[in-house]
């Protein structure tokens, strides 16, 4: 039998405390979420852990159609293009994998890995068709937890999404799935966190972080939005959408064209804002 000093020295681990808190078995997902929030409020887990567990639960209920990149926004390479014509596009977009099409986006014939283009620069014999990896096609209805398991088992990082008629509806990557669990994943090609909140890309066009304060945005862009109801540009934009937008969603607000550049299941991260001609004001549409 453990002595009193030994009992005092033994502090329950996080897992033990959480298990004790969850002894009351939840009857449904809603009760489980309530218990998890209770564990957070009782300091049994931090906010990041809670967010990740909620992300895992959410992934089990989501389908590919909920997060896929629509066909119209897919960055693709046409098999008919010579290498020297699509290389600038590959460098600009900085993706590691590209669907390769023949004629149109409904005819995906394979996947090109950007690293395979090293053969072109090495002056080796280069034939694009020979470089292609097989494309994986999945239905829009596939659940994300099943897709993630398949990505891991097949060591595949990208899949082409098809609709009920067999046409290409979009594409999805393993990063898109993981972002539903851990939030937005930025790599070495994403905008540096240390850069300013508002970056002018060209006259009248700005890359704006969603957390930018509205007064700062007004001063830089020349707008007069109120910050009484929302303090950030992201809050203003989400309110105008009426829901949490996805990457690529577009809206017109007064004389501004706003496109979501980065977003995850929790919030908007980066926006592309373009000033429209005066005659476009004040039309607004989603």
> 164 is written with which tokens?
């009920």
Share of the chain above pLDDT 70, in %: 80
Residue 113 lies in a domain: yes
Q: Does residue 239 share a domain with residue 209? A: yes
Would you call 97 helix, strand, or coil by DSSP? strand
- What is the CB-side half-sphere exposure of residue 252 using CA atoms within 13 A? 13
> Does the pTM exceed 0.75?
no
Closest C-alpha to 50, from 182, 186, 185: 182
Q: Does residue 158 share a domain with residue 210? A: no
| Bridge partners for 69 per DSSP | 171
Q: Does residue 176 share a domain with residue 95? A: yes
Residue 94 lies in a domain: yes
pLDDT of residue 60: 80
Rounded mean pLDDT of 159-168?
92
Q: How many domains does one find in the chain? A: 2
Please identify, among 182, 215, 236, the residue that sits at the C-terminal boundary of a domain: 182
For residue 163, whether the previous peptide bond is cis, meaning omega lies within 30 degrees of 0, is: no
Residue 51 lies in a domain: no
238-285 pLDDT, tens digit per residue, is 889 988 888 788 999 999 999 988 876 567 888 999 998 765 444 444
**Cα distance between residue 181 and residue 187, in whole Å:** 17
Please identify, among 156, 182, 208, the residue that sits at the C-terminal boundary of a domain: 182
We report the CATH number of the domain holding residue 168 as 3.10.580.10
Strands 205-209 and 268-275: antiparallel
Please identify, among 129, 158, 182, the residue that sits at the C-terminal boundary of a domain: 182
| Domain hosting residue 264, numbered range | 198-275
Helix orientation angle between 144-154 and 174-182, rounded to the nearest 10 degrees: 130
């Amino acid at each position: 039998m453990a002595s009193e000093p030994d009992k005092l020295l033994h502090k329950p681990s996080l897992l033990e405390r959480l298990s004790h808190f969850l002894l009351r078995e939840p009857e449904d997902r809603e009760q489980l979420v309530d218990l998890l929030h209770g564990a957070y409020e009782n300091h049994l887990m931090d906010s990041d852990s809670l967010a990740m567990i909620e992300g895992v639960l959410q992934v089990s209920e989501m389908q590919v159609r909920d997060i896929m990149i629509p066909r119209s926004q897919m960055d693709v390479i046409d098999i008919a293009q010579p290498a020297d014509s699509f290389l600038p596009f590959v460098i600009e977009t900085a993706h590691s994998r590209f669907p390769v099409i023949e004629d149109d986006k409904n005819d995906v014939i394979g996947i090109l890995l950007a690293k395979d283009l090293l053969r072109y620069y090495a002056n080796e014999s280069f034939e694009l068709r020979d470089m292609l990896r097989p494309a994986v096609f999945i239905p829009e209805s596939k659940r994300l937890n099943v897709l993630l398991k398949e990505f891991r088992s097949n060591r595949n990082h990208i899949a082409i999404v098809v609709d009920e008629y067999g046409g290409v509806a979009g594409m999805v990557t393993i990063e898109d799935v993981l972002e539903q669990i851990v939030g937005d994943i930025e790599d070495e090609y994403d905008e540096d966190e240390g850069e300013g909140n508002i970056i002018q890309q060209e006259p009248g066009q700005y890359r704006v972080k969603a957390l930018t304060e509205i007064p700062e945005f007004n001063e830089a862009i020349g707008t007069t939005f109120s910050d009484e109801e929302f303090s950030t540009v992201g809050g203003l934009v989400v309110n105008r959408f009426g829901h949490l937008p996805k990457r690529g969603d577009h809206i017109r607000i007064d004389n501004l064209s706003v496109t979501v550049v980065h977003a995850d299941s929790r919030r908007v991260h980066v926006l592309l804002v373009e000033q429209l001609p005066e005659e476009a004001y004040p039309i607004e549409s989603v």
